[in-house]
Copies of this chain bind each other. A is one copy, B any other.
Amino acid sequence: MNDVKLDILFHRRTPEQDDRERLICERCGFVDYENPKIVVGSVATWKDKILLCRRAIDPRDGYWTLPAGYLELNESPETGALREAWEEARARLEIDQLLATYAITRISQVQLIYRARLITPEISAGPESREVGLFTWDEIPWDELAFPSVRWALDHFCQTRDQPTFAPLGQSDAGAGGL
């Protein structure tokens, strides 16, 4: 499909054999299922330092975050996490394992955050970052983190740092916003 002309009258009601309201077009019967969105990202390290990006876009312009963003169509979560690290920090990573899953249910967002290693320490700010940096634990700008989930991921990274494999950690239904 390239151009799509739509003349739609959406009404919110429960389809037959369903148990919750959906957006349904009264003209053609099309059901527009609304779905949670997936954010993929990483806690990526070079030796004992962690990659952070200072945001150049809203929300939370000027605050520090992990390289992360929305998973694209036809993309695996691991590939998406690598892409985001490249786009935001020009960083080349290799994924180690899934660090954590966070459900930000208020905004219907599921985050898949990976533990990863930088292949080289060369990094630079992509278009959505003001600057990027590699921080030891004590150097992390804790008071200038963009989102609660950045803090969760850093804490979970610290907690599992010495474990070669582990079950991913999680945090569900915290009231605060996502990445």
* A contact residues vs B (CB 8 Å cutoff): 1-12, 17, 20, 23, 33-38, 70-79, 97-98, 101, 103, 105-106, 108, 110, 112, 127, 165-168, 170, 172-173
Q: Are B6 and A12 in contact (CB under 8 A)?
A: no
21 A-B pairs with C-beta separation under 8 A? A3-B9, A3-B12, A4-B10, A4-B12, A7-B7, A8-B8, A17-B127, A33-B70, A35-B70, A36-B74, A74-B106, A74-B108, A75-B103, A75-B105, A76-B103, A76-B105, A78-B103, A98-B101, A110-B112, A165-B166, A168-B168
Q: Given contacts A35-B70, A167-B98, is CB(A77)–CB(B110) below 8 Å? A: yes
Q: Which residues of B contact A73 (CB under 8 A)?
A: 34-36, 108
Within the complex, which residue of B71, B105, B172 is in contact with A110, where a contact is CB–CB below 8 Å? Answer: B71
Q: Which residues of B contact A108 (CB under 8 A)?
A: 73-75
Q: Are B71 and A167 in contact (CB under 8 A)?
A: no
- In the complex formed, the residue of B with least CB distance to A165 is B167
Q: Which residues of B contact A112 (CB under 8 A)?
A: 101, 110
Which DSSP category, helix, strand, loop or mixed, fits chain A's interface?
A: mixed
Q: How many copies does the complex hold?
A: 2
- Besides A6-B10, A38-B38, 4 more A-B contacts (Cβ < 8 Å) are A35-B71, A75-B103, A97-B168, A101-B112
Within the complex, which residue of B8, B17, B38, B167 is in contact with A35, where a contact is CB–CB below 8 Å? Answer: B38
Q: Which residues of B contact A173 (CB under 8 A)?
A: 76
Q: Are B17 and A105 in contact (CB under 8 A)?
A: no
